[in-house]
Structure 1
Amino acid sequence: MNPSLSLVHTIDESQLEQLHRLYGKQWWSQGRALEDIRTMLVHSSRVYALIDQDTGRLVAFCRVMTDFVFRGMLHDVMVEDDWQGQGVGKQLMEAVTRDPDLSRVQSIGLWCKPNLVPLYQKFGFEQANADYCWMQTGSLITATHAPASP
Structure 2
Amino acid sequence: MSIQISTDKSILDVDFIHQFLTRSYWAKGRTREEVQTSIEHCLCFGVYLEGKQIGFARMLTDYVVFGYLMDVFIIEEQRGKGYSKQLMKAITEHSDLQHVKRWMLATHDAHGLYTQFGFKEIEYPSRWMSKLIS
**Taking structure 1 as the reference length, what is the TM-score of the superposition?**
0.81
Task: Work out the CA distance in 2 between the residues paired with 1:13 and 1:124.
Answer: 30
For 1:121, the equivalent position in structure 2 comes to: 115
Task: Work out the CA distance in 2 between the residues paired with 1:42 and 1:19.
Answer: 13
Please, which of 29, 32, 35 is the counterpart of residue 31 of structure 1? 29
Tell me, yes or no, if the aligned pair for 2:56 and 2:74 is still in contact at 8 Å: yes
RMSD, aligned CA: 1.7
Shift of 1:16: 1.2
Larger radius of gyration: 1
Q: Are the structure 2 counterparts of residues 12 and 67 from structure 1 closer, same or farther at C-alpha, using a change threshold of 3 Å?
A: closer
- Counterpart residue identity of residue 118, structure 2: G
% same residue = 26
Q: Secondary structure at the match of 1:75?
A: strand
Q: Secondary structure at the match of 2:45?
A: strand
Tell me, yes or no, if the aligned pair for 2:22 and 2:31 is still in contact at 8 Å: no
- Counterpart residue identity of residue 14, structure 2: L
Task: Work out the CA distance in 2 between the residues paired with 1:41 and 1:116.
Answer: 22
Q: Does 1:95 align with 2:93?
A: no
Structure 1: stretches of 5+ with no match in the other structure: 140-150
Q: Secondary structure at the match of 1:105?
A: coil
Matches within 5 A, 1:1-150: 2-3=1-2, 5-12=3-10, 15-44=13-42, 46-52=43-49, 54=50, 56-113=51-108, 115-129=109-123, 130-139=125-134
Aligned length: 133
Tell me, yes or no, if the aligned pair for 2:12 and 2:46 is still in contact at 8 Å: no
Q: Are the structure 2 counterparts of residues 21 and 12 from structure 1 closer, same or farther at C-alpha, using a change threshold of 3 Å?
A: farther
Structure 2: stretches of 5+ with no match in the other structure: none
Task: Work out the CA distance in 2 between the residues paired with 1:14 and 1:118.
Answer: 27
Tell me, yes or no, if the aligned pair for 2:47 and 2:87 is still in contact at 8 Å: yes
